[in-house]
């Protein structure tokens, strides 16, 4: 692992030397704290931080959580010593330029020939902006999204006062194209939200077909690929890659959201929204007489609903992409390891008598359940497995997550179980750390043994 104890002092020293060029000054007495007081408080902080799950451990395969890459930590901490604000250029000229550069790199990754976009404080805010532009572009029209899409979309439709339409999903968790076509034919839909990498199953909506249907009815297309976006680097239909067609079609959509704080190895507080038509900037026009005065160049706050945003987030992503670029040989190799781990886990599940795979993974999210004959038994066994896997010595703990499914979901995937309950919990695991790949056989073996107890 990159030794941050070596590199962080270099960042601190570099910023201190730069600050000294403006002349030395004394810190105000009101800000001075003693080393003893700070040390004692830090000890309390680190002790309290122990009340966490080991998100960075290969055996943590629960929620979509992991520590950022050391390069991201180094970039963020170094820039944070200045604390630039990327809203206006005079608030962070260096980091604003870095933001424009990394956003351009992501636009290129998605095949956009031109773009308008920026970083955001989260994928939720990024999607809010995309749906807001959808409303402004097609006033009075509804927004359609998959029933398995992130709840952000239904909630943000409420925020912006637009009716949302949930489209049912098929046996792979993808948007049902026949129902979508029927809804589009009504003439009430202005924008279709396609998801590439649903947060529940990692499913990839059939984007090429969705684009075709939407265009034939005069509708826009927004792609929420907050979780799955960086898999475009390995969307090549190879054995350890993912399907190419959905990702190739991104270049034909109107907007896209991706979260670097997921597979982009960044700390939280780093989403991205991109528009393929820069003219949507007209919807952002506003007046701020005390903000945009230092330069005639584009200020990021002029194309954002947010105001103050951490320039350190841009510095963190910029530094990360300097050492792990958006190529197959760079960040792509991280994603391939995740994908291989998920495929190997699925292979083991397919040959297991103790556990059953819920469906084939399209990215790096695995769903499965202890093999039982009734819904109620599946639910009880999944809950027991969730607790038993973590209730042991820390060096053996496996941290999981559950996913609630309906009886109809099991049936349409071909699982023959007695439907004695409306829903059941099954297991859902994310293989989003490349280190997990080597641990998958042991993880599976232990879970299989526990599931029979």
Q: What pLDDT, in 10s, does the model give residues 159-218? A: 999 999 999 999 999 999 999 999 999 999 999 999 999 999 999 999 999 999 999 999
Which pLDDT tens digit goes with each residue over 126-151?
A: 999 999 999 999 999 999 999 999 99
Is the entire prediction scored with pTM above 0.75? yes
Q: Measured in Å, how far apart are the chain's first and last C-alpha atoms?
A: 37
Counting residues of the chain whose pLDDT is more than 90, the rounded percentage is: 93
Cα pseudo-dihedral 194, 198, 204, 206, rounded to 10 = -30
Domains in the chain, start-ordered, CATH in brackets?
79-323 (3.40.640.10), 331-451 (3.90.1150.170)
For residue 203, give both structure tokens.
């499913």
Paired with 221 in beta bridges are 192
> What average pLDDT is seen over the chain?
95
Q: Give the DSSP H or E segment for 335.
A: helix 331-350
Confidence of residue 298 (pLDDT cuts 50, 70, 90): confident
pLDDT over threshold 80, residue 106: yes
In terms of Cα–Cα distance, which of 229, 149, 150, 163 is closest to 191?
A: 163
| pLDDT for 292 | 47
User: Mean pLDDT, to the nearest integer, of 319-340?
Assistant: 98
| pLDDT for 441 | 98
For residue 9, give both structure tokens.
């002092």
Q: Which conformational region is residue 108 in: left (phi greater than 0), alpha (psi within -120 to 50 degrees), or beta?
A: alpha
pLDDT over threshold 80, residue 287: no
> Which residue's structure tokens are 């095949």?
111
| pLDDT for 296 | 54
């Amino acid at each position: 692992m990159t030794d941050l104890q070596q590199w962080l002092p270099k960042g601190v020293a570099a910023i201190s030397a730069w600050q000294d060029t403006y002349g030395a000054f004394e810190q105000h007495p009101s800000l001075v704290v003693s080393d003893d007081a700070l040390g004692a408080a830090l000890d309390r902080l680190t002790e309290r931080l122990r009340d966490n799950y080991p998100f960075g451990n290969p055996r943590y395969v629960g929620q979509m959580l992991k520590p950022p890459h050391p390069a991201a930590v180094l970039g963020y901490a170094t820039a944070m010593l200045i604390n630039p604000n990327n809203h206006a250029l005079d608030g962070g000229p260096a980091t604003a330029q870095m933001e424009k550069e990394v956003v351009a790199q992501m636009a290129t990754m998605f095949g956009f020939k031109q773009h308008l976009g920026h970083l955001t404080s989260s994928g939720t805010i990024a999607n809010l902006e995309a749906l807001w532009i959808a409303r402004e572009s097609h006033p009075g029209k509804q927004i359609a999204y998959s029933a398995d899409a992130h709840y952000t979309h239904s909630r943000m439709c409420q925020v912006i006062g637009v009716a949302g339409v949930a489209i049912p999903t098929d046996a792979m968790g993808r948007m049902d194209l026949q129902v979508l076509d029927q809804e589009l034919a009504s003439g009430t839909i202005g924008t279709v939200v396609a998801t590439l990498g649903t947060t529940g199953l990692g499913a990839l909506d059939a984007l090429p077909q969705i684009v075709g249907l939407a265009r034939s009815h005069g509708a826009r297309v927004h792609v929420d690929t907050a979780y799955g976006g960086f898999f475009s680097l390995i969307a090549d239909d190879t054995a350890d890659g993912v399907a190419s067609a959905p990702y190739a079609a991104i270049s034909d959509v109107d907007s896209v959201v991706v979260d670097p704080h997921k597979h982009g190895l960044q700390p939280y507080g780093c989403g991205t929204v991109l528009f393929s038509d820069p003219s949507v900037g007209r919807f952002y026009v506003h007046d701020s007489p005390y903000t945009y005065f230092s330069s005639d160049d584009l200020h990021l706050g002029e194309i954002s609903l947010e105001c103050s945003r951490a320039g350190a987030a841009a510095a963190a992503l910029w530094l990360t992409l300097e050492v792990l670029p958006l190529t197959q040989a760079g960040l792509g190799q991280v994603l391939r390891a995740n994908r291989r781990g998920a495929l190997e886990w699925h292979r083991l599940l397919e040959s297991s008598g103790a556990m059953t795979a819920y469906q084939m993974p399209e990215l790096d999210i695995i769903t499965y359940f202890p093999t039982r004959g009734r819904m109620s038994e599946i639910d009880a066994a999944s809950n027991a497995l969730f607790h038993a896997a973590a209730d042991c010595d820390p060096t053996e703990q496996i941290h999981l997550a559950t996913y609630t499914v309906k009886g109809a979901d099991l049936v349409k995937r071909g699982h023959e179980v007695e439907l004695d309950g409306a829903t059941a919990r099954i297991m859902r695991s994310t293989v989003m750390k490349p280190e997990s790949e080597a641990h998958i056989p042991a993880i599976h073996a232990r879970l299989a043994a526990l599931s029979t107890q």
